[in-house]
Structure 1
């Protein structure tokens, strides 16, 4: 049975890195990185909200086709609201796929530091925005009983990756 795996978590916790590795180690898995899809939409920086919604719709359409072909799909994305998660779970059910919601977590302080190190120079406003997203994600977890939280260990990608594999069974 194909799997739709959403890898959620704060910025800088390794979602994209783990999704790439998973796809490389599981032949024919499609890594549908929403941010990469969004980057393909012309003028997305001028209309980021609309472009983000379009990218998520494209991801769901691509996931549907790939799951129906009998292959796994992994979607790394920071999701601090439930709508896309609910749409993904509904899609998995509609096509007879398993749905897995993995959340990579680190402490707020560590996640912000890791994000800043990756980004380089960051403004106080950007840091506040990322901190607010962390807080929204933390609040969302209380309403997601099926989400499996995996500690994201900085500098220990193998350990984190193995923990994700363990959660997937």
Structure 2
């Protein structure tokens, strides 16, 4: 059975790195980064909310095609609202694919520090507050997602984290 894997978690905790590695080690896996899809939409910065919805719709369409072809899809994305998760789970069920919601987690302060380091530039207090609010919203969402499987993501331990991701997928 093919599967749709959503790799969720706070900013800077290794979602993109781990998704890339998973795709490299599992041939024909689609590493479907919704932010990269959004970047393909002209003028998205002027209308980020609308562009975000369009990008997610395009990502689900791409995931459908890939899953129907019998290949896995991994989606590294910070999701702090249920809509896309619900749509992804429904898509997986519709096409007969397994659905896995994995959440990379680190402590709040560590996650914020990792995000700031990844930015490679000084971050503003407003940016830090926005990312902290997203972290808190993610925790609130996860309280209502019993299917989510948690994987501890520690800085500098990418190999260990990757092995835990594989174990969580069974």
Give your verdict on TM over 0.5.
yes
Alignment pair present for 1:153 and 2:154: yes
Is 1:61 matched up with 2:61? yes
Structure 1 segments (4+ residues) deviating >6 Å: none
SS in 2 for 1:155: coil
Q: Deviations for 1:11-66, whole angstroms, at most 9, x for unmatched residues?
A: 00000000000000000000000011111111111111111111100110000000
Provide the rounded CA distance (Å) in 2 between the counterparts of 1:48 and 1:126: 16
What per-residue deviation string (whole Å, max 9, x for no partner) do you get for residues 78-134 of structure 1?
Answer: 000000000000000000000000000000000000000011211111110000000
TM-score (norm 2): 0.99
Distance 2:156 2:101 in 1: 23
Match status 1:135 vs 2:153 = no
Residue aligning to 1:166: 167
Q: Give the 5 Å matches for 1:16-165.
A: 16-119=16-119, 120-165=121-166
Structure 1 Cα separation of the partners of residues 148 and 106 of structure 2: 15
In 1: Cα distance, 2:135 partner to 2:91 partner? 26
| CA-CA distance at 1:145 after TM superposition | 0.1
The aligned residue for residue 2 of structure 2 is 2
SS at match of 2:78: coil
Paired residues in the alignment total 169
**Which runs of no fewer than 5 residues in structure 1 stay unpaired?**
none
Q: How many Å separate the matches in 2 of 1:79 and 1:138?
A: 10
Unaligned runs of 5+ in 2: none
CA distance in 2, matches of 1:68, 1:17: 25
